[in-house]
Structure 1
Amino acid sequence: MHPLETTSPERWSELLREAGLRVTSGRLAALAHIEAHPHSSVAQIHTALAHDLPSMSTQSVHNITHDLTTHGILQRIDTPDSGSALYETRTADNHHHVQCIVCHRIEDVDCVVGEAPCLTPHDAHGMRVLEASVTFRGICAACDAGPLTSPTHSQRKDQHV
């Protein structure tokens, strides 16, 4: 799904049923939250849902994200500095990500060539490549303009003096 499109609860219900999953209030609430807040961690999802669904545990959110990822409804993103897996509903394309090394914000980057797999390895070892997962790492404008508080940020600035 493209990031500007939104999915109705009825469509999420339909996608869950098509995947052979039960439609539950927890799954629908998690999908709605992740769609509105892409690149969310289990802890962020749990915190957001706890008020409306107080009986939902962190383990329940882990189970939901696992099931939805296994069935292709969510995409799991693992980045070196995020501390935990992040989830998004944008699964139907071969997009990539850019991450700030200071604040760890992650944004989507459309496919660098326009169609999967976007990159071709020098040697695929006899495999047919289906997709490429790329995370560009940099410093966002807000962190670049902010005070020199992180060692990575300070080191980078010192190199240009």
Structure 2
Amino acid sequence: MTTTPNPAAEAIRAAGLRVTAPRQAVYDALAADRAHPDAEQITAAARALLGRVSQQAVYDVLAAFERADLVRCIDPAGSPAARYELQTHDNHHHLVCTSCRRIVDVECGADTVPCMHPSADHGFALEATEVVYWGRCPQCQESGEEDSPTTRPKENP
């Protein structure tokens, strides 16, 4: 009997974690939603797959996935909630709409990692750079939607 490979179970197992139904559901929810969902959205998707799962179980799974480097938490300044994506270990950053808070992946403009270099590394062995670009998405520009002063990032002095 041949079994169909389960990408969620394989990834979870490869990260050194035990495969459980909530972990598979959270992984599948993230794989299906590339729009950087928050924990509430992930919980709703996991519930649609499992029927029942607590919000706390989803937070626990997300924390375990972060420790195992399966997911990346994106928490732009001023965002009402942290957002998540499957960790792809690629060289990308994020665009965040200052009006609707939509997050979009954007490839780094350089071929090397990290793709930005500080003026001094203070002895650190640099591995990655996190960049967030802020602006208004095409839909908000078209609709005339204004930036929200409570969610706009603070400018550097």
Q: Is 1:10 matched with 2:6?
A: yes
1:31 maps to which of 27, 47, 66? 27
Judged with a 3 Å threshold, the aligned counterparts in structure 2 of structure 1 residues 112 and 29 are, in CA distance, closer, same or farther, namely same
Question: Gaps (5+ residues) in structure 2?
Answer: 150-157
Q: Is 1:97 matched with 2:98?
A: no
Q: Letter of the aligned partner of 2:52 in structure 1?
A: S
Is the Cα–Cα contact under 8 Å of residues 25 and 46 in structure 2 kept in the other structure?
A: yes
Paired with 1:87 and 1:143, the residues of 2 have a C-alpha distance of 23
2:37 maps to which of 37, 40, 47? 40
Q: Please, what TM-score do these two structures have when normalized by structure 1?
A: 0.82
Paired with 2:11 and 2:67, the residues of 1 have a C-alpha distance of 13
> Aligned residues, how many?
145
Q: Is 1:57 matched with 2:54?
A: yes
Is the Cα–Cα contact under 8 Å of residues 72 and 85 in structure 2 kept in the other structure?
A: yes
Q: Is 1:130 matched with 2:127?
A: yes
Q: Please, what TM-score do these two structures have when normalized by structure 2?
A: 0.84
Is the Cα–Cα contact under 8 Å of residues 99 and 138 in structure 1 kept in the other structure?
A: yes
Question: Gaps (5+ residues) in structure 1?
Answer: 1-7, 153-161
Quote the residue 1:143 is aligned against. Answer: 140
Query: What secondary structure does 1:75 align onto?
Result: strand
Judged with a 3 Å threshold, the aligned counterparts in structure 2 of structure 1 residues 29 and 139 are, in CA distance, closer, same or farther, namely same
Q: Letter of the aligned partner of 1:111 in structure 2?
A: C
1:127 Cα shift? 1.0
Paired with 1:87 and 1:151, the residues of 2 have a C-alpha distance of 22
1:148 Cα shift? 4.5
Residues 31-83 of structure 1 show CA distances to partners (whole Å, capped at 9, x for unaligned) of 11111213111111112222443431100000011101110111111111321
Judged with a 3 Å threshold, the aligned counterparts in structure 2 of structure 1 residues 60 and 141 are, in CA distance, closer, same or farther, namely same
Quote the residue 2:16 is aligned against. Answer: 20
Q: Letter of the aligned partner of 1:108 in structure 2?
A: D
Paired with 1:19 and 1:148, the residues of 2 have a C-alpha distance of 42
Aligned CA-pair RMSD:
1.8
Instruction: Using the aligned pairs only, state the percent identity.
Output: 33
Is the Cα–Cα contact under 8 Å of residues 40 and 86 in structure 1 kept in the other structure?
A: yes
Query: What secondary structure does 1:40 align onto?
Result: coil
Quote the residue 2:152 is aligned against. Answer: none
